[in-house]
């Protein structure tokens, strides 16, 4: 048997009475034609729709129901949770990001917040089909990167979900069955209930606001040096490996050597080395970009002057104005840029 569920606050208050030769019905619709009416068949979601028809036995009853419906909608209130801080959000996510059954698929979802990593969000999704086939996906993202303008509930057939979209690029790290994939700009979290989805959006908005960092360059010199020595590390992605190291000169801590050994899918390695002065770097011009499964951090000299000495397999080349460091995490890239900015300013 079919059953329908909806929230009065999502509905237009005006119900339309439709009389035909064979029936009398009350037609009710959602605001903005949003498909927030859930249809279930034998207890399982079969569709989401924006219109519901209620068939009645008489015209008087239809009118009475229309008046009662209008009153119910007009007096309904939105009950979206306003989260104060992360201590409220973590248990809510644990309880409400859960399993969803869609036809022949059962999708289990978990979301975790890592506060010491600027509220990093990890979404683990396991999909099981009735034929026994299964797959596991993991998405890692940072609330600061999310677009609040594109944070929205979407409906497609039996699927009701909240779209998470990174505003400025493909900043969501993705793994499929523990294998690193290319970065993406979108992922989704499934729900049965539109109100729970709205509460989830409220949680994401709070996390976004609590995660904004204006300036990562505000760190002591010793801390910045230690961070770079620890964070400029090897990166392994499909078909490529990058062995990387950073060395500060014993005589002058403002002079640095960066070494990168790139190994391709055939096992052929190429060594690059760059020698430069931290004072020559121009922090505002530095940036990171996404290429496939890697994050490329590009450091540039002030005014584009060719002040960086490059080597390839220990053979010196002509001076250049930039070089790149590879990473596999967006926050790591942001912090590396911040540390270089702090050191560059201190060395000027």
* Coil/strand/helix, residue 71: helix
pLDDT of residue 21: 86
- C-alpha radius of gyration, the chain, whole number: 27
pLDDT tens string 260-294:
999 999 999 999 999 999 999 999 999 999 999 99
Burial 226-236 (b: 16+ CB within 10 A, else e): ebbeebbbebe
Count Cα neighbours of 56 within 13 Å in the Cβ-side half-sphere: 18
- What percent of the chain is predicted at pLDDT more than 90? 93
Q: Is the pLDDT reported for residue 1 higher than 90?
A: no
pLDDT of residue 52: 96
Q: Is the pLDDT reported for residue 130 higher than 90?
A: no
As a whole number of angstroms, the distance between CA 35 and CA 6 comes to 10
Burial 183-200 (b: 16+ CB within 10 A, else e): bbbebbbbbbebbbbbbb
Phi, psi of 302 (to 5 degrees): -70, 130
> Among 10-14, 75-79, 157-161, 172-176, whose mean pLDDT is lowest?
75-79
**What mean pLDDT value characterizes the chain?**
95
pLDDT tens string 209-248:
999 999 999 999 999 999 999 999 999 998 899 999 999 9
pLDDT tens string 140-150:
999 999 999 99
Phi, psi of 343 (to 5 degrees): -70, -40
pLDDT of residue 211: 96
pLDDT of residue 18: 94
pLDDT tens string 165-193:
998 999 999 999 999 999 999 999 999 99
As a whole number of angstroms, the distance between CA 303 and CA 87 comes to 46
pLDDT of residue 96: 97
Average pLDDT score over residue span 7-13: 95
pLDDT of residue 346: 97
Average pLDDT score over residue span 109-121: 96
User: pTM score > 0.75 for this model?
Assistant: yes
pLDDT tens string 47-100:
999 999 999 999 999 999 999 999 999 999 888 999 988 899 999 999 999 999
pLDDT of residue 43: 86
What is each CA distance from 189 to 93, 107, 163, in whole angstroms?
Answer: 11, 10, 7
DSSP at 216: S
* Coil/strand/helix, residue 163: strand
As a whole number of angstroms, the distance between CA 340 and CA 331 comes to 14
């Amino acid at each position: 048997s079919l059953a329908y569920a909806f929230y009065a606050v999502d509905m237009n208050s005006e119900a339309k009475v439709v009389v035909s030769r064979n029936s009398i019905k009350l037609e009710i619709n959602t605001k903005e034609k949003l498909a927030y009416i859930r249809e279930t068949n034998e207890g399982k979601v079969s569709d989401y729709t924006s219109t519901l028809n209620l068939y009645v036995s008489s015209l008087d009853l239809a009118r009475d129901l229309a008046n009662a419906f209008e009153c119910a909608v007009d007096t309904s209130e939105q009950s979206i949770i306003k989260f104060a801080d992360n201590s409220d959000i973590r248990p809510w996510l644990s309880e409400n990001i859960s399993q969803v059954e869609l036809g022949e698929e059962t999708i289990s979802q978990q979301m975790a917040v890592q506060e010491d990593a600027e509220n990093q969000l990890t979404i683990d999704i396991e999909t099981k089909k009735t034929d026994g086939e299964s797959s596991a996906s993991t998405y890692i993202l940072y609330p600061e990167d999310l677009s609040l303008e594109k944070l929205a509930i979407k409906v497609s057939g039996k699927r009701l979900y909240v779209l998470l979209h990174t505003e400025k690029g493909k900043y969501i790290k993705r793994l499929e069955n523990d294998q690193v994939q290319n970065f993406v700009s979108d992922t989704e979290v499934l729900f049965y209930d539109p109100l729970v989805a709205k509460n989830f959006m409220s949680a994401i908005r709070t996390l976004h606001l609590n995660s904004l960092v204006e300036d990562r360059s505000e760190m002591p010199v010793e801390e910045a040096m230690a961070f770079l020595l620890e964070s400029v590390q090897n990166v392994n992605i499909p078909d490529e490996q990058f062995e990387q190291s950073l060395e500060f000169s014993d005589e002058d801590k403002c002079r640095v050597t960066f070494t990168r050994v790139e190994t391709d899918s055939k096992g052929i390695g190429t060594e690059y080395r760059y020698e430069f002065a931290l004072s020559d770097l121009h922090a505002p011009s530095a940036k990171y970009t996404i290429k496939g499964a890697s994050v490329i951090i590009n450091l540039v000299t002030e005014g584009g002057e060719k002040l960086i000495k490059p080597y390839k397999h220990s053979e010196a080349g002509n001076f250049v104005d930039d070089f790149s460091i590879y990473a596999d995490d967006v926050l790591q890239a942001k912090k590396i840029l911040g540390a270089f900015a702090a050191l560059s300013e201190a060395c000027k």
